[in-house]
Amino acid sequence: MIMKRILPFIFIFWTWACAEKVVEPPENLIPEQKMVDILHDMALLNATKISFPSIVKKNEIKTMDFLFAKYQIDSTQFAKSDKYYASIPVQYQMIYEQVEARLEKRRKILEGKDEKRKDSLKAAKKVRDSLNKLEKEIKPLS
């Protein structure tokens, strides 16, 4: 009974607290779309590091140094921007959903290319088998 009366106040307070800016935007805030690009590339580089560690090590690729150079930012700017976006959970979630959507799109493209490659290999095998069969049929005639 008491919870039914308190629950709306808790909900209103929670909504108000989430809407309040906890962290002020830094002077050199990384724009949202650029942040999506950075996080997307970071995910790809980290996956590469896990999947192909020898290549990353051989080429001496340092993920964050590479990203900072590519996007012309520094570690402080990235950290402050990330902290700011993290302080706005709904916006931060939207950023990560965009990153996830881009990664999913890339995965589907790669799977499509893999299917085409497999189809090409199957077709080549059929052609090779047909040629072998014809060759066997022609040899007895010679």
Q: Is residue 135 part of a domain?
A: yes
With a cut of 80, say whether residue 16 has pLDDT above it: no
Q: How confident is the model at residue 142 (pLDDT cuts 50, 70, 90)?
A: low
Q: How confident is the model at residue 134 (pLDDT cuts 50, 70, 90)?
A: confident
Give the structural domain span for 113: 28-141
* pLDDT score for 90: 94
DSSP conformation letters of 27-96: TTPPPHHHHHHHHHHHHHHHHHHHH-HHHHHHTT--HHHHHHHHHT--HHHHHHHHHHHHTSHHHHHHHH
Helix (H, G, I), strand (E, B) or coil at 46: helix
Q: Is residue 63 part of a domain?
A: yes
- Structural domain count, the chain: 1
* pLDDT score for 132: 77
With a cut of 80, say whether residue 131 has pLDDT above it: no
Q: Is residue 76 part of a domain?
A: yes
Q: Is residue 75 part of a domain?
A: yes
Q: Is residue 21 part of a domain?
A: no
* pLDDT score for 23: 84
